Amino acid sequence: MSYMVRLGLYNLTFWLGGVAVFFLFATGQILYGVIGFIVWGIVNWLQFKSFFFKGVSRITPYGFLKR
């Protein structure tokens, strides 16, 4: 998968997951909200880890440079 596609998917899952978790808390389903938040956090951490340790060699003021 290309770098930009992975970045787009990462952003999409990050925001959609965040909105879904917020919606669960807002509608009063606290248990599902907590479970969703934990799953969302684990998924984002795994994506972040694979992303930054495989695709990026260093961070510059202008963004990320690919290896």
pLDDT in tens, 35-58: 888 988 888 887 777 666 665 555
Tell which wins on pLDDT, 10 or 34: 34
Tell which wins on pLDDT, 38 or 5: 38
| Dist CA 8 CA 54 (whole Å) | 16
Average pLDDT value over all residues in the chain? 74
> At 9, which amino acid appears?
L
The reported pLDDT for the residue numbered 42 is 85
Extents of the domains making up the chain: 3-66
The reported pLDDT for the residue numbered 62 is 53
C-beta of residue 67 within 8 angstroms of C-beta of residue 57 = yes
Q: Which helix (H) or strand (E) holds 53?
A: helix 30-54
The reported pLDDT for the residue numbered 52 is 62
Residue 18 pLDDT greater than 70, yes or no: yes
